[in-house]
Homo-oligomer: A and B are copies of this chain.
Amino acid sequence: MSTSRESAGRRGPGAKSAERRRSIVDAAHAVFAERGYNAGSFQAVADRVGMSQTGLLHYFPAKSDLLLAVLQRRDEVSDTVVEPSAGFAESVLLKARANESIPGVIQLYAVLSGEATTTGHPARAYFTTRFERLRTGTAAELRALQQEGVLSPRVDVAIAAASLAALWDGLQLQWLLAPDEVDVVACLRDYLDALFARP
């Protein structure tokens, strides 16, 4: 199916379409970051990128496709705030701090991740895969730190990996409801400090 696109090369129509798709997702990320879940609309995204709603629907036939693309973009943007040399805990805290500047996108994440638990929801596969990848990836990083002698060999890395992702999500939910009372970074730091201090 994608053969004609691929053979068109970087400057062909396939590349142009990918560029346009990317600029739509950038616009949607900005719209949701600024306005939050309720006020972020297809029309606002279309206006920002200078397209009609019909044109936008050509690239993203369902609103859920665009919302998931925004969350994937968030993951990419989130990775760019961390230097490759940053340590494990430092990376987590830098990403958590960066999320504080995009509450509307975090709100989108909270709404979709909750809805994704229902049967047949279009975001279910995305979140199931995302959490699997997070649990596996974090467990591998923690295992490497055990081998370096930085983390106690008695820590169950699978439990710590699931727990860190869970703690982060739950803290962000509380923070969205009470931003002046819940300090996501302070709580994550407390967890990570205690994890690395375990005997």
Q: Which of B38, B39, B116, B194 contacts A177 (CB 8 A)?
A: B116
Interface 9-residue window, one of A45-53, A56-64, A66-74, A165-173: A165-173
Task: Say yes or no for A42: interface residue by CB 8 A criterion.
Answer: no
Contact status A190-B38, CB under 8 Å: no
Within 8 A of B (CB), among A145-183: 156, 159-160, 162-163, 165-171, 173-174, 176-178, 181-183
Task: Say yes or no for A85: interface residue by CB 8 A criterion.
Answer: no
- In the complex with contacts A171-B162, A194-B198, A107-B118 CB distance below 8 A: yes
Distance from A36 Cβ to chain B, minimum over Cβ atoms (Å): 6
Task: Say yes or no for A77: interface residue by CB 8 A criterion.
Answer: no
CA distance A34 to B43 in the complex (A): 39
Task: Say yes or no for A93: interface residue by CB 8 A criterion.
Answer: no
Task: Say yes or no for A132: interface residue by CB 8 A criterion.
Answer: yes
Contact status B131-A178, CB under 8 Å: yes
Distance from A93 Cβ to chain B, minimum over Cβ atoms (Å): 14
Chain B residues closer than 8 Å to A183, beta-carbon distance: 159
CA distance A136 to B128 in the complex (A): 32
Q: 1/0 contact trace for A102-120 toward B, CB 8 Å?
A: 0000010011111111111
Q: Which of B132, B181, B194 contacts A178 (CB 8 A)?
A: B132
Contact status B177-A162, CB under 8 Å: no
Q: Which of B110, B120, B159, B167 contacts A166 (CB 8 A)?
A: B167
Can you list 5 residue pairs at the A/B interface with Cβ under 8 Å? A36-B118, A37-B117, A38-B118, A110-B114, A162-B182
Binding site for B on A (CB under 8 A): 36-39, 107, 110-120, 124, 127-128, 131-132, 135, 156, 159-160, 162-163, 165-171, 173-174, 176-178, 181-183, 186-187, 190-191, 194-195, 197-198
